[in-house]
A and B are shown apart, each in its own frame.
Chain A
């Protein structure tokens, strides 16, 4: 079982003042007491919402969140095998925003794999994003693990074509609590692509799926939701070990549905309330989830962050790196058969800021 590791231990290259001898030999050994060659790590950064104001002005706060995450990611030791970016580089899908975001992201050391978010997509239906970054759904293998990336933020054609123009459509989708919104989905064509892609993969191979929206249903009115989640889950069901990592929700969530573990990503931009704090509608936050701390708005990076993912024996442990707050580790517990918060899972260990209302 891993334990929470403080930032100074974690970012050991971050300070010349720390003597190497006083530091753990490697994060993997500290976390798991083993150093199998199958173990590997990757960084997972998401939801930066880079916002163009005018001319060369961008919203400073959101820029700083992404810059902060990249600086920390570059200090990871041991080096991650690669970095995932979980979607929503931009706020309104504008070229200026995608270009500015990618310019900041170009500071990352190592390979980066990108996931499409709805804020990247609904201005030009992903054209500029794909031109800069390539296909929005793809798969690859790393050290015996099969990775799949899906564009899960598609929606129904009649909604897409309903609006007066691209920016009107983008603004409608950008509003999280929009009563005129439309649910996300992977869609039939991509599900068929996924079925064929997984046909070639041995069922004992661990599978890690990255999507922007949760491939589970939590709260429809904020699109913490994928309309065809069950159909995607059915395609993943034959595999022994599946992990789904998603962005969009700007908060810690984790869950287990059958063979599938779920972990969400924090945003680098701003945190979102849990849907249960909206008193006029019902929502379905996974019971397993111990909520992140309520944000202190006076610290602009509080309740934002990024993730460091450890893949060991085919399961995923998510280390939530939270500036201005205590880091969190949600690790797969083999005995329990689901992810657990390594410090706060027992009800008696929880602290007042984790109570949302």
Chain B
């Protein structure tokens, strides 16, 4: 009896998985629009943080050295940073800037502000081919 119940539960679980897969695909144009809007909202938040919105103890902001997020080269990360002695992700270099030119406290790598900053930085660099490791 016990074995039969287990088999039944297993079948039911499989059926649920199949049903789940069926409902997850295909996505609609409305889905695409919403996902793009979510991303662009993050870009807009990042644009504000980048231009003075980030809490900066000495008032210095990212855009002072990086107009339109230039000279950040997000397409080259992860890459070897000889000054850090290791391969680093973009967020680590953003934190380096926050701690040094901005003389402020670093963000957690998954802090929403850190995500929004990277949304903006990548958006300004859209269309540029990936070049991981490049200097």
Q: Is there an interface contact between B68 and A177, defined as CB atoms closer than 8 Å?
A: yes
Q: Is residue B51 contacting chain A, with contact meaning CB distance below 8 A?
A: yes
**Residue in chain A with minimal CB distance to B57:** A53
Cα A271 to Cα B57 with chains together (Å): 21
Cross-chain pair count, CB within 8 angstroms = 62
Q: Is residue B66 contacting chain A, with contact meaning CB distance below 8 A?
A: yes
Q: Is there an interface contact between A176 and B67, defined as CB atoms closer than 8 Å?
A: yes
Cα A222 to Cα B71 with chains together (Å): 15
Q: Is there an interface contact between A271 and B65, defined as CB atoms closer than 8 Å?
A: yes
Residues of B close to A294: CB separation below 8 A: 71
Cα A177 to Cα B66 with chains together (Å): 9
Q: Is residue A300 contacting chain B, with contact meaning CB distance below 8 A?
A: yes
Residues of A close to B67: CB separation below 8 A: 176-177, 222, 272-273, 278
Q: Is there an interface contact between A59 and B70, defined as CB atoms closer than 8 Å?
A: no
Q: Given A176-B63, A177-B63, do A278 and B68 touch, yes or no (CB 8 Å)?
A: yes
Stretch binding the partner chain, chosen from B22-30, B37-45, B93-101: B93-101
Q: Is there an interface contact between B83 and A273, defined as CB atoms closer than 8 Å?
A: no
Q: Which of B94-112 contact A (CB under 8 A)?
A: 96-97, 100-101, 103
Q: Given A51-B58, A51-B59, A175-B51, do A278 and B70 touch, yes or no (CB 8 Å)?
A: yes
Q: Which of A282-297 contact B (CB under 8 A)?
A: 294-297
Q: Is residue B64 contacting chain A, with contact meaning CB distance below 8 A?
A: yes
Could you say which interface size class chain A belongs to? 20 to 34
Residues of B close to A60: CB separation below 8 A: 58, 103
Contact string, A33-62, partner B, CB cutoff 8 A, digits 1/0?
000000000000000010101000101110
Q: Is residue B125 contacting chain A, with contact meaning CB distance below 8 A?
A: yes
Q: Given A53-B59, A297-B97, do A279 and B66 touch, yes or no (CB 8 Å)?
A: no
Q: Is there an interface contact between B59 and A298, defined as CB atoms closer than 8 Å?
A: no
Nearest-Cβ distance from residue A88 to partner chain B, whole angstroms: 12
Q: Is there an interface contact between B100 and A300, defined as CB atoms closer than 8 Å?
A: yes
Residues of B close to A139: CB separation below 8 A: none
Q: Which of B12-65 contact A (CB under 8 A)?
A: 51, 57-60, 63-65
By a beta-carbon cutoff of 8 Å, the part of chain A in contact with chain B is 49, 51, 53, 57, 59-61, 175-177, 221-222, 270-273, 277-280, 294-298, 300, 352, 356-357
Not counting A53-B58, A280-B124, a sample of 7 additional A-B residue pairs whose C-beta atoms are within 8 angstroms of each other reads A49-B64, A273-B71, A277-B70, A278-B67, A279-B125, A297-B100, A300-B101
A and B contact pairs by CB, cutoff 8 A, 20 listed: A51-B58, A51-B59, A51-B60, A53-B59, A59-B59, A60-B103, A177-B63, A177-B68, A221-B68, A270-B65, A272-B67, A273-B66, A273-B70, A278-B68, A278-B70, A278-B124, A279-B128, A300-B100, A300-B101, A352-B135
By a beta-carbon cutoff of 8 Å, the part of chain B in contact with chain A is 51, 57-60, 63-68, 70-71, 73, 83, 96-97, 100-101, 103, 124-128, 135
